[in-house]
Amino acid sequence: MDEDNGSGDVSLSELQLSLMRVLWARGEASTADVAEALRGERDLAHTTVATLLTRLEKRGLLSSRRESRALLYTPLVSEADVQRSMVGSLVDSLFAGRASALMSHLLDAPGVDATELAELQALLKQRKGGRP
């Protein structure tokens, strides 16, 4: 569950997700670009960022190309694919594969207000094909 690209299960750590978010937002970035973008959130050494990007590339989640002396990285999986995979793994492992159990858990969480409930109802109605 920790390997593969968009067609399989992808599980990323919080740090890996931070790097991927930079790449998803920019489309392509160098190691220095990623390190700089994360500077306010995390103070990572350039070599640490380089190692993490190389590992993500080896897993098939990124591609790289050389431009002058820099390697430019491009994501090969979409954020939606990673979200789908990670939520699917969460549902399988914590909620016995039952999306309704996850939804119930989320609805019990603090901070779910009337606006969010209305948005969820609209999504459910849309998913059901508009049936009431």
**Residue 17 — φ and ψ, nearest 5°?**
-60, -40
Q: Which residue type, as a one-letter code, is found at position 120?
A: L
Q: In which domain, by residue range, is 127 found? A: 100-132
Q: What is the mean pLDDT of residues 22-31?
A: 97
Continuous H helices in the chain: 14-26, 31-38, 46-58, 79-94, 99-108, 114-127
Which among 61, 12, 53 has a CA at the least distance from the CA of 35? 53
Domain shared by 28 and 48, yes or no? yes
Q: For residues 25 and 82, state if they share a domain.
A: yes
Is residue 124 domain-shared with residue 82, that is, in the same domain?
A: no
- At 72, the amino acid letter reads L
Does one domain contain both 61 and 123? Answer: no
Does pTM surpass 0.75? yes
Given a cut of 90, whether residue 42 has pLDDT beyond it is no
For residues 81 and 10, the answer to whether their CB atoms sit within 8 Å is yes
Q: Given a cut of 60, is residue 130 above it in pLDDT?
A: no
9 closest CA partner among 63, 102, 89: 89
Asked whether the predicted pLDDT for residue 1 surpasses 70, the reply is no
* Co-location of 88 and 37 in the same domain: yes
Residues in the chain: 132
35 and 86 in a single domain? The answer is yes
**46 & 80 share domain:** yes
As for how many domains the chain has, the answer is 2
Q: What CATH number is given to the structural domain containing 82?
A: 1.10.10.10
What span, in angstroms and rounded, lies between the C-alpha atoms of 23 and 57? 12
Q: Are residues 78 and 112 in the same domain?
A: no
C-alpha to C-alpha distance for 65 and 115, rounded to whole angstroms = 45
The 10s digit of each residue's pLDDT in 54-112 is 999 999 999 999 999 999 999 999 999 999 999 999 999 999 999 889 888 888 888 88
Do 117 and 54 lie in a common domain? no
